[in-house]
Amino acid sequence: MTQTTDKDRVLIFDTTLRDGEQSPGATMTHAEKLEIAGLLDEMGVDIIEAGFPIASEGDFKAVSEIAANARNSVICGLARANMGDIDRCWEAVRSARQPRIHTFIGTSPLHRAIPNLTQDEMADRIHETVTHARNLCDNVQWSPMDATRTEWDYLKRVVEIAIKAGASTINIPDTVGYTAPEESADLIRKLIADVPGADEVVFATHCHNDLGMATANSLAAVAGGARQIECTINGLGERAGNTALEEVVMALKVRHDIMPWHTGVDTARIMNISRRVATVSGFPVQFNKAIVGKNAFAHESGIHQDGMLKNPENFEIMRPEDVGLTESNLVMGKHSGRAALRDKLEQLGFEVGDNQLKDLFVRFKELADRKKEVFDDDIIALMRVGEDPENDHLQIVSMKVVCGTGGPAEATVEMEIDGKDASATAHGDGPVDAAFKAIRDLFPNAAHLQLYQVHAVTEGTDAQATVSVRLEEDGMISTGQSANTDTVVASAKAYVNALNRLIMRREKSAPGSDIREISYKDVS
């Protein structure tokens, strides 16, 4: 069981694969979930919430495989307050070296009204379900959802019930990002002081960023006595997101003078996993995002540049290498060989097999022929948005686009659809619109385009464009990405990638299989 006798150690509980993936459009494939879990395990995350096993067969399999493969982290699954959820969760995590069951129920007046339970009925449910979970697993976490809007007397009552029933971690969620730092610290402090048995368990904090205070609220909770922070990579999560792992970890490291607590996270791995989560989730990191944003260590102002040249500490409170940024940038070109590429990838935090390197080297050479200068970010883009062998229903073979001021754009697209060649020509309001229409002619679908986003990977007119496309069809959401020096080609490939993911989800879906379709009505 991951418990700590070091009063200054803060456990990091990462829920990127559960709460983070619930963010609309952020659904990951099975292989991507396993990869992210492996990276979290390697970087020293204490607890990985791998998913919601009852949500779907796919989620169950992912949690089970993550549990079987984990070397260091506690592997946790989420379960609602009913026996079926808890049994399914235990079945998924039981093969882990260190398994945990995390069960929850909404305790605020608004949330109690959903299953229509009285305070006493809910209290009985909490006792029964936590006891059941504890009989299966000696590491049980319990959460009163919407705790920060729950009446104080009732919150204190149900926390005591959960502790007596065997919960070893009590998580206090700010489910809707409602609280403020002073309240966050005070709530934890009062629970520890007033609830019998509170000194024998770990208190955790789970904050959302609706008012932009998730990181501040989490750190305040630690000051109040919490010793576990629930968070996600890049702050991924529903609505405005969750507490960002990189922010709380680096805040504790940089400001250890006023926050005398520490974590076990290898911070040099932060940038690598941030980039990977951004790619597989389809949620690019904003340029000015703290710690991992593209501009986090960039300096353009003349005063700032002058200060940096004299002493980097003038304008940097942490070193780029502390979060895994390399100092080198322009070192690769069309004359670089496989060994140089492999070495560069290792510098950037990637480990590749021989077959993967062979495929990547071909695409690197193609890029180097089109670009005079190949930057680190170009190589990262190649690595992150390469061809996905799992998604091969649809493939673009060739494209030809005609556009200008003389009339509507025209796109001719040749595709391979389940092994058969087909082509179509379409007109549209611009080259991207024409290309998308040609693809829809070749593969008719009712998917609604929710997001189309383009950003340049590096500078210059020959820069690679990374395109993100989010599609929705019958409640299912998928995101695709691609990178190319031709924005229209990148756009078309991203659209096809999203369609492929939608096809996969459609094939695997079953009634009630999506986590967002599960409601309190299912609690029994």
Mean pLDDT of 158-182: 98
pLDDT for residue 154: 98
Q: What CATH number should be reported for the domain holding residue 492?
A: 3.30.160.270
Would the pLDDT of 289 be above 70? yes
Residue 354 predicted with pLDDT over 70: yes
Question: In the prediction, which pLDDT does 182 show?
Answer: 98
> For 304-320, how does the pLDDT look when each residue is reduced to its tens digit (9 = 90+)?
444 545 555 554 678 88
Residue 246 has pLDDT above 80, yes or no: yes
| pLDDT exceeds cutoff 90 at 433 | yes
Highest mean pLDDT among 4-8, 235-239, 379-383, 483-487: 235-239
Is residue 27 located within the same domain as residue 167? Answer: yes
Do residue 187 and residue 82 come from a single domain? yes
Specify the number of domains making up the chain: 3
Mean pLDDT of 135-155: 98
Reply yes or no on whether the pLDDT at 240 is more than 50: yes
Does 179 score more than 80 pLDDT? yes
User: Could you tell me if 191 and 116 lie in one domain?
Assistant: yes
Query: Looking at the domain assignment, is residue 85 inside a domain?
Result: yes
pLDDT confidence of residue 268: 94
Of the candidates 281, 316, 349, which is a domain's last residue?
A: 281
On the question of pLDDT at 364 being above 60, the answer is yes
Per-position DSSP letters for 318-353, written without gaps between them:
S-GGGGT--S----B-TT--HHHHHHHHHHTT----
Q: Does residue 4 have a pLDDT over 70? A: no
Residues 316 and 197 placed together within one structural domain of the fold: no
In a domain, residue 143? The reply is yes
Do residues 404 and 308 both lie within one domain?
no
Does some domain include residue 444?
yes
Q: Specify the pLDDT at position 362.
A: 85
Are residues 154 and 190 located together in one domain of the fold?
yes
Looking at residue 400, what is its pLDDT?
95
Provide the pLDDT for residue 308. Answer: 40
d(CA 417, CA 392): 8
Cβ within 8 Å of residue 276, ≥6 positions away: 35, 36, 39, 384
Q: Identify whether residues 308 and 275 lie together within a single domain.
A: no
Q: For residue 303, what pLDDT is reported?
A: 43
Identify which has the larger pLDDT, 448 or 327.
Answer: 448
Please give the pLDDT value at position 160: 98
- pLDDT reported for residue 282: 78
* 354 in any annotated domain: no
DSSP structural state of residue 284: P
CATH classification of the domain holding 22: 3.20.20.70
Pick 158 or 355 by higher pLDDT.
158
Q: Answer whether residue 192 is part of any domain.
A: yes
Quick one: pLDDT at residue 460? 76
pLDDT of residue 292: 92
- The answer to whether residue 445 sits within a structural domain is yes
208 and 257 belong to one structural domain: yes
* 137 lies in the same domain as 199: yes
310: Cα within 13 Å, side-chain hemisphere: 8
Q: Residues 73-92: what's their mean pLDDT?
A: 98
What's the mean pLDDT in 249-264?
A: 97
Among residues 34, 62, 26, 44, the alpha carbon closest in space to that of 235 is found at 26
Q: Which residue has the higher pLDDT, 136 or 302?
A: 136
Taking residues 435-460, report their average pLDDT: 90
Query: How high is the mean pLDDT of the chain?
Result: 88
Q: What angle do CA 429, 430, 433 make, to 5 degrees?
A: 75
- Is 336 within the bounds of a domain? no
Mean pLDDT computed over 109-129: 96
Report how far residue 357's alpha carbon sits from residue 351's, in angstroms, rounded to the nearest whole number: 9
CA pair distance 117, 74, nearest whole angstrom: 33
> For 19-54, how does the pLDDT look when each residue is reduced to its tens digit (9 = 90+)?
988 887 777 888 889 999 999 999 999 999 999 999
Identify the domain containing residue 315 by its residue range: 299-324
Residue 205: in which H helix or E strand, if any? strand 202-207
Averaged pLDDT, 433-444: 96
**Confidence band, pLDDT 50/70/90 cuts, at residue 209:** very high
Beta bridge partners of 254: none
Q: Is 256 annotated as a binding residue?
A: no
User: Model confidence at 299, in pLDDT bands (50, 70, 90)?
Assistant: very low
Q: pLDDT band at 163, cuts 50/70/90? A: very high
Instruction: Return the number of other C-beta atoms located less than 10 Å from residue 470's C-beta.
Output: 23
- For residue 6, pLDDT beyond 50: yes
Q: Is 206 annotated as a binding residue?
A: yes
Which one-letter amino acid corresponds to residue 152?
W
The residue-averaged pLDDT of 352-372 equals 82
In a domain, 334, yes or no: no
Q: Tell me: pLDDT of 486 over 70.
A: yes
* pLDDT (average), residues 213-235: 98
Q: Verify that 169 and 26 share a domain, yes or no.
A: yes
* pLDDT at residue number 313: 57
- pLDDT of 498 > 50? The answer is yes
Confidence of residue 398 (pLDDT cuts 50, 70, 90): very high
Judge whether 279 and 385 are in contact, CB under 8 Å. Answer: yes
Residues 274 and 131 in one domain: yes
Residue 482: its pLDDT value, please? Answer: 87
Q: Is the pLDDT of residue 327 over 60?
A: no
Report the share of the chain in percent with pLDDT over 90.
61
**Same domain (yes/no): 50, 199:** yes
